[in-house]
Amino acid sequence: MKKVLYCLICLIGLSACSSENVVLDALKVYDLTNSACKVALSKTESRSDFYQEYDARPATLGIELGKDGTAQCKVENVKDNCAIRERFVNVTNHDNQITLIIYHNGNIDSWADCTCDYDVDFKMSKLSPGNYHLKVYYAGTDMKCMEEYVMYNAQISIEKNKKTSVKFNSGKSLPEC
């Protein structure tokens, strides 16, 4: 009887440890900041050749993993409407896939007739070195992940104290919905 009771206590203890690891492995975004508008252009007021060159330039994502598992991340040149002041980042992870959703709040009275480039800095916690499948979406206020707004979808390798940089697929702006 004592052996059975001891085994049950051990099993309960082991299951508590394994569920704690699941909680610790969940990625979180924190310390998010947005830059001021770096470049503002209007499709109707700018020279068309200059605007097309600007519009085609893709954003980039840099990830640098620290010793403690904290990843310092920066998305450079996110295109968004000039009237929007903040962009946000949501992260989910499952197995070795990381999904980032970059979106804006969009609670404004009217949209401006221009697009700005912004940088979005944030940290992700509890990331281990290794190979991951990274998928990055742009989304509007509803945070819907539509295939036409997949900005990056490929394998990446993340190592401690080494910056990993990726270039997004196109120069799309965040959706205005």
Q: Distance between CA 173 and CA 104 in Å, rounded?
A: 11
pLDDT digits 0-9 by tens, 134-146: 999 998 877 777 8
pTM over 0.95: no
- Token pair, residue 119, equals 């940088």
pLDDT of residue 39 exceeding 70: yes
- Pick the residue with more confidence: 152 or 9? 152
Reported confidence tier of residue 25, pLDDT bands at 50, 70, 90: low
- Give the model's confidence band at 107: pLDDT under 50 very low, under 70 low, under 90 confident, else very high: low
176, pLDDT greater than 90: no
The residues near 60 (Cβ < 8 Å, ≥ 6 apart) are 75, 76, 77, 165, 166, 167, 168
Question: Which pLDDT does position 26 carry in this prediction?
Answer: 81
pLDDT of residue 156: 96
Q: What is the pLDDT of residue 11?
A: 44
Question: Distance between CA atoms of 71 and 73, rounded to whole angstroms?
Answer: 6
